């Protein structure tokens, strides 16, 4: 029986380092399940693996798409499973790593059938977002579908509009569609979660944001200004710098906002992953203990 090892956890916890250790140990390849690292134009703000890290083990779904391409959770499920079929011919074990719970869930459990949407409602919500910003969308979603609101990336307008358009079109919450029976997969799945003391994690996040600025995040965001209306760019680390470039805020405030929004994002990631009782939790840096657990069960 083939085995997929899934490494999850909040942003900045050290998932990439552990995934590379595991790939080296099992002489295998890594499938990224980070919904922002797919995009080749976004590197610094997405904390993409470095050239050295990418060279240390074969990676898939890093730099695989352009921000101009639509790439949904459903697309990822289909493409990742097709790739894994091929890779399992050569390997008994594969490693999947990422903090995007929806994408990991799509591969491990399969996606639910989504209802048809009233496109006029979608258009109206997109227009409302352009005219009034994210707050009214956020407010409506929190009232109409609090369960989905609690786990969605609240800095991602596309995801929040998606939740709102479902409930307004069908009268049913999107969260009610996210409870279908698990699809059987032709491989074992072992889930490893990484977490640490919250203050320590928040310090790591703040430090990472400072490093991103030192490494050229401002220049990266400037280069993406022509694409700023695309959904891929409406995300933490990019939205805040666009606000600065448009004169809506000063730079220190924008940087503080990136740190604050990243900390909130990490908190939501942990809420999502903690609900999955199949995760076995370790501290960052415990790669030897993780390997022992995987070898000996």
In eight-state DSSP terms, residue 230 is S
Same fold, 3-112+180-296 and 119-177: no
| Structure tokens belonging to residue 38 | 């797919």
Q: What is the pLDDT of residue 1?
A: 86
In this prediction, residue 174 carries a pLDDT of 85
Closest CA to 229 of 87, 116, 111, 129: 129
Torsion of CA 284, 287, 291, 292, to 10 degrees: -90
Residue 121: the pLDDT is 92
Q: Among positive and negative, which fits the CA dihedral 102, 17, 231, 211?
A: positive
Question: What averages of pLDDT result for each successive group of 10 residues across the chain (297 residues)?
Answer: 96 97 98 96 97 97 93 91 98 97 92 81 90 90 90 79 91 78 90 97 98 98 94 92 97 98 94 94 97 92
Q: Which residue has the tokens 């960052």?
A: 284
Q: What confidence score (pLDDT) does residue 4 get? A: 98
| Per-residue pLDDT at 204 | 97
User: What does the domain layout of the chain look like in residue ranges?
Assistant: 3-112+180-296, 119-177
Q: What is the largest CA-CA distance in the chain?
A: 56
Contact 289/282 with Cβ under 8 angstroms?
Answer: yes
* pLDDT score recorded for residue 179: 59
Domain 119-177, CATH:
1.10.20.140
> What is the fold, at CATH topology level, of the domain defined by 3-112+180-296?
Rossmann fold (3.40.50)
The residues, ordered by sequence, that sit 6+ positions from 8 with a Cβ below 8 Å of its Cβ are 15, 97, 98, 99, 101, 104, 191, 192, 193, 194, 273, 276, 279
Q: DSSP letter at 1?
A: -
């Amino acid at each position: 029986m083939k085995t997929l090892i899934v490494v999850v956890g909040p942003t900045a916890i050290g998932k990439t380092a552990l995934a590379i250790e595991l790939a080296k140990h099992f002489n295998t390849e890594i499938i990224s399940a980070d919904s922002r690292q797919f995009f080749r134009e976004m590197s610094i703000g997405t904390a993409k693996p470095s050239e050295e890290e990418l060279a240390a083990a074969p990676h898939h779904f890093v730099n695989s798409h352009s921000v101009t391409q639509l790439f949904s959770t459903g697309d990822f499920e289909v493409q990742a499973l097709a790739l894994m079929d091929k890779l399992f011919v050569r390997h008994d074990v594969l490693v999947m790593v990422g903090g995007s719970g929806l994408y990991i869930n799509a591969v491990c459990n399969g996606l639910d059938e989504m209802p048809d949407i009233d496109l006029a409602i979608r258009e109206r919500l997109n227009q409302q977002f352009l005219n009034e910003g994210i707050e009214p969308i956020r407010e409506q979603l929190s009232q109409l579908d609090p369960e989905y609101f609690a786990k969605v990336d609240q800095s991602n307008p596309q995801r929040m509009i998606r939740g709102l358009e479902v409930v307004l079109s069908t009268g049913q919450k999107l969260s009610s569609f996210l409870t279908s029976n698990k699809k059987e997969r032709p491989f074992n799945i072992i889930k490893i979660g990484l977490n640490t003391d919250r203050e320590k994690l928040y310090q790591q996040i703040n430090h990472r944001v400072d490093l991103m600025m030192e490494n050229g995040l401002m220049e990266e965001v400037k280069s993406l200004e022509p694409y700023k209306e695309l959904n891929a760019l409406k995300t933490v680390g990019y939205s805040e710098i666009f606000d600065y470039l448009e004169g809506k805020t000063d730079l220190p405030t924008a940087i503080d906002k990136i740190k604050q929004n990243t900390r909130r994002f990490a908190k939501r990631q942990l809420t999502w992953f903690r609900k999955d009782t199949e995760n076995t939790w370790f501290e960052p840096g415990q790669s030897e203990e993780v390997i022992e657990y995987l070898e000996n069960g």
